[in-house]
Amino acid sequence: MPRSRPGALRVEQHGPRVWECPPPDRIHGLSARTSLAIHRVERLSADCDVYPGVTDRALRRYRAFLEPPGRRPRYPRDAECSCRGCSLDDVRYARDVLELVVGRLPVRARAELERRVAALDALYLGRTLPDPFADRQWRSDLWWRRRLAGGGEAG
């Protein structure tokens, strides 16, 4: 009698794999492997700021803030509503979320997302102005919070 393959034995013991949800959409600009790692972090996170799909939304928001052409400075605005969906209207909060997710990713996925965020950070530094009074309010590692903010995002 021929020997059964180990995978066939596992299927007999546990049954076929059934996924709870369909595979996630790939995040624009990131590999499928990194997108899947981000999806896992979002699904398993106990933090109320990290939920499924938030990384993609935060990246889109960060890009949209920096997208308008021109050389005039941009001023981040506060979110009008404090619910977790509307909080992403504040680009600084979107950057906070990206920092949370980066810190929880495995090494390869973290490196890829960090490269994407670093490119946007360089644009952010060039398009915003430093806040001279932020030293009293924000920690130094939250440098994106130490930029001048205004009422509207227009230059």
- Per-residue pLDDT of 42-100, as tens digits, reads 999 988 889 999 999 999 999 999 988 888 888 888 888 777 778 888 899 999 999 99
114 burial level (CB within 10 Å; 0-12, 13-18, 19+): middle
| 23 — pLDDT class (breaks 50, 70, 90) | low
**Alpha carbon separation from 83 to 36, 47, 50 (Å, rounded):** 26, 14, 13
**List of long-range contacts for 110-119, beta carbons under 8 Å, 24+ apart:** 112/30, 112/31, 112/34, 113/30, 113/34, 113/38, 113/55, 116/29, 116/30, 116/59, 117/59, 117/62
The pLDDT value given to residue 147: 82
Whether 17 shows a pLDDT value over 80: the answer reads no
Q: Considering the chain, what is the average pLDDT of its residues?
A: 83
CA distance 142 to 92: 9
CA distance 66 to 91: 10
The pLDDT value given to residue 142: 77
